[in-house]
Amino acid sequence: MGSFRNTSGKLCETSGNVATDGIKGSLKERGIRLTRQRQILLGLIDKSGEHLDAESLYQMARKEDPKLNRVTVYRTLKLLKAGGLVDELDLMHYEGDQHYYETRTKQEHAHVICLRCGKVEEFFGEPLHRLRRQVEETFGFKILIARTEIGGYCQHCQVLRARELSEVRERSDAEERAALESGAGDRTGHRKRATRGD
């Protein structure tokens, strides 16, 4: 059993089945040669504890092997994804069409994404297993893969968002008061001119 830190720095346990050795064995079974460059990419995906996009993987891998190119990164990701060894995530499309990668784990988890700052937390727990069993029992469905993404606002962003909304309301109220005061003054001035016959 191993562990990693998720994108917020929280220590998470892995089942040990996520290890690069398991992925290497799976590639070997499929007759796919594990080149040095593929090993570098696998290691980065498996051990970073982050959800990395292809460009980040490329930049990190180039530090270990300056000869590595983007084409190799994209081909390797496609190969690993097709082999069911890596999951491609969109993480609520927080950054548009950006895709992120993580090794497929035996232990299911949900991705909890802050839609304001982009922080990603991973939630592991019995509620996910209950949901899976409930879906299988209700629909007679054999689930092979499940991805759960939850979007919302982290605690920090909730505070910032409440402050921003309060400021917007205050500005709106002030503008409304100014408009009313300005409009009332114009009408009063207009009436005075009208009664004098100017």
Distance in angstroms (rounded) separating the CA atoms of residues 76 and 34: 10
Q: Are residues 129 and 72 in the same domain?
A: yes
Q: What is the pLDDT of residues 112-125, one digit of tens each?
A: 989 899 888 888 88
Residue pair 36/65 in contact (Cβ under 8 Å)? The answer is yes
Q: For the chain, what's the residue count? A: 198
Residues 11 and 55 in one domain: yes
Is the domain of 122 the same as that of 184? Answer: no
Structural domain for 175, as ranges: 154-198
Claim to verify: residue 160 and residue 121 sit in the same structural domain:
no
- Environment class of residue 88 by beta-carbon count within 10 Å: exposed (0-12), middle (13-18) or buried (19+)? middle
**Do 197 and 146 sit in the same domain of this protein?**
no
In 3D space, the residue among 34, 33, 31, 50 whose CA is nearest the CA of residue 42 turns out to be 34
Higher pLDDT, 31 or 141: 141
Question: Do 197 and 144 sit in the same domain of this protein?
Answer: no
Q: Are residues 104 and 23 in the same domain?
A: yes
Cα–chain center distance at 78: 20
- Which one of 152, 167, 188 terminates a domain? 152
Say how far apart CA 4 and CA 47 lie, in whole Å.
7
Claim to verify: residue 11 and residue 105 sit in the same structural domain: yes
Q: Tell me the Ramachandran region of residue 16: left when phi exceeds 0, alpha when psi lies from -120 to 50, beta otherwise.
A: left
Q: Give the chain's domain count.
A: 2
Pairwise CA distance, residues 167 & 100, whole Å: 35
| Predicted pLDDT of residue 179 | 85
Do 179 and 139 share a domain, yes or no? no
Same domain, 105 and 67: yes
- pTM equals 0.58
Calculate mean pLDDT across residues 61-87: 86
Residue 153 to residues 11, 58, 91, 142: CA-CA distances in angstroms? 21, 30, 14, 33
CB 45 within 8 A of CB 52: yes
Residue, of 193 and 39, whose pLDDT is higher = 39
Which pLDDT value is given to residue 87? 79
